[in-house]
């Protein structure tokens, strides 16, 4: 059995066992005794932002079109004789995959036939099959997905905001790419990116459910350690220089909507400095901002209720804060018949909130609600499966989230908010109703 390291949370009474196989793959297991369902996720540190990179020893940098990471996700699910989904379905397992800005993941869940499904997961991800013909065929499928995104007002609102906030960083680009960029993807390009980013040493396998960590590691080792993997490449991910300013303060697009959709937010000026190297400082920033945003604009906040009573928002109003090692932003979004007035009221509310200071009692009430939600989340294998690697790939531990939430004082969260909510770093994206054809 490969040697194990254990991380444990006394508060949650949860434990994660880690090991690294001879082939380089990291394996992590969280055992949940008594749970019938099991999840397995195999993920690589490769996402839509990784469009330019340099391999040690190579003569120059490699630049790829937008959408290659997402295209790889699609193609790996296709076997020479059919779809991997059919194999999982025959085993009674649910399968899925996802690509985001920084990672690509493949997963399945099941009650029975865990080990055959487990073998299938590791086998198909580690055994690519690309041909000129099947790559060309896939382009049409992905183009349909892109056109669906183009027709989604909510999607376009968020994407418009990112394009307004960022000048050059690839977070502003569509994860699936564009119709033009997808047409430029080739079989050889897919193999090059696969060899670069799908080496086991750049990947992590995570299993959650009532299954032994030793059994998981032994099974993965038996499947993979005998394979002839090339030496792990040394990869430098190259990002363009990104100015601290926003690119434009407002963008607008007309679409088939019954009322305007507004998405507005702030570019985080200190995400890179605080998140590099990623780890505990980044985790404190993310969780601290979550608690502060709940306090500021959660459904029980004074601001939220005032906006609702004024008819400026409905139940669609929401917020988010996302921070990685080289980008970060806070965002508000929702439907509103008065988008400019909504933005004005929220920015005024933020200014008043920061001027008055965070109310310690209200922050503590928010802390208790957030921690309660976190504790309930650890009863959801789906939540754990989808979020463990998101934390792990940022050098953060999901099982530390409650302890971190308990330790953040109001002053720390307010300090981050004062940096983040800079009016000069605000951008607005509005989707307006399209005028009926023929109307003058």
Which position among 14, 73, 138, 242 bears the catalytic label? 73
Q: What tokens does 271 get? A: 């995400």
Query: Can you spell out the DSSP letters for 398-409?
Result: GGGHHHHHHH--
Q: Quickly tell me which residue has 């990784």 as its tokens.
A: 50
Query: Can you spell out the DSSP letters for 180-242?
Result: HHHHT--HHHHHHHHHHH-SGGGEEEEEEES--HHHHHHHHHHHHTTS-PPPPPPEEE-----
d(CA 314, CA 185): 42
Q: What tokens does 296 get? A: 């500021």
Quick one: which of 160, 167, 193 has its CA closest to 70? 193
Q: Quickly tell me which residue has 């302890």 as its tokens.
A: 403
Peptide bond into 304 cis (omega under 30): no
309 is catalytic: no
**H helix runs in 268-331, sequence order:** 271-275, 280-297, 302-309
User: How many other C-beta atoms lie within 10 A of the C-beta of residue 258?
Assistant: 8
Percent helix, strand, coil in the chain, to 5, is 45, 20, 35
Helix (H) or strand (E) run with residue 49 in it: none
d(CA 17, CA 213): 6
Tell me which residues are annotated as active site.
73
């Amino acid at each position: 059995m490969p040697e194990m390291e254990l991380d444990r949370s006394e508060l949650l009474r949860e434990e994660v066992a880690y090991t690294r196989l001879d082939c380089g793959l990291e394996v992590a297991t969280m055992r949940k005794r008594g749970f019938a369902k099991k999840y397995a996720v195999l993920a690589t540190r490769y996402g839509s932002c990784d469009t330019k990179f340099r391999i040690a020893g190579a003569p120059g940098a490699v630049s790829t079109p937008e959408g290659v990471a997402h295209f790889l996700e699609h193609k790996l699910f296709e076997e020479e004789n059919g779809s991997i989904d059919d194999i999982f379905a025959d085993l009674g397992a649910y399968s899925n995959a996802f690509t985001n800005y920084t990672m690509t993941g493949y997963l399945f869940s099941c009650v029975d036939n865990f080990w055959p499904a487990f073998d299938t997961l590791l086998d198909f991800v580690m055994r690519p099959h690309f041909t000129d013909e099947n790559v060309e065929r896939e382009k049409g499928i992905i183009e349909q997905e892109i056109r669906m995104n183009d027709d989604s007002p909510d999607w376009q609102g968020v994407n418009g905001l990112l394009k307004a906030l960022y000048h050059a960083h690839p977070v502003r680009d569509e994860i699936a790419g564009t119709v033009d960029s997808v047409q430029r993807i080739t079989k050889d390009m897919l193999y090059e990116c696969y060899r670069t980013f799908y080496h086991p040493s750049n990947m992590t396998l995570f299993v959650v459910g009532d299954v032994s960590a030793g059994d998981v590691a032994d099974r993965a080792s038996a499947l993979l350690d005998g394979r002839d993997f090339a030496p792990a490449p040394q990869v430098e991910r190259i990002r363009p220089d990104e100015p601290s300013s926003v690119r434009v303060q407002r963008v607008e697009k007309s679409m088939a909507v019954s009322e305007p959709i507004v998405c507005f937010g702030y570019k985080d000026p200190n995400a890179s400095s605080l998140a590099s190297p990623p780890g505990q400082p980044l985790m404190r920033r993310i969780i601290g901002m979550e608690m502060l945003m709940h306090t500021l604009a959660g459904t029980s906040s004074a601001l939220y209720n005032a906006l609702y009573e004024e008819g400026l928002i409905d139940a669609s109003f929401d917020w988010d804060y996302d921070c990685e090692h080289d980008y970060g932003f806070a965002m508000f979004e929702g439907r509103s018949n008065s988008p400019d007035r909504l933005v004005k009221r929220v920015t005024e509310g933020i200014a008043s909130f920061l001027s008055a200071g965070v109310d310690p009692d209200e922050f503590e009430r928010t802390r208790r609600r957030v921690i309660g939600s976190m504790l309930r989340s650890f009863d959801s294998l789906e939540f754990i499966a989808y979020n463990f690697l998101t934390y792990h790939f940022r050098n953060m531990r999901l099982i530390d989230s409650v302890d971190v939430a308990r330790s953040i004082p109001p002053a720390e969260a307010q300090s981050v908010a004062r940096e983040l909510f800079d009016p000069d770093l605000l951008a607005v994206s509005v989707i307006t109703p399209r005028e009926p054809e023929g109307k003058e």
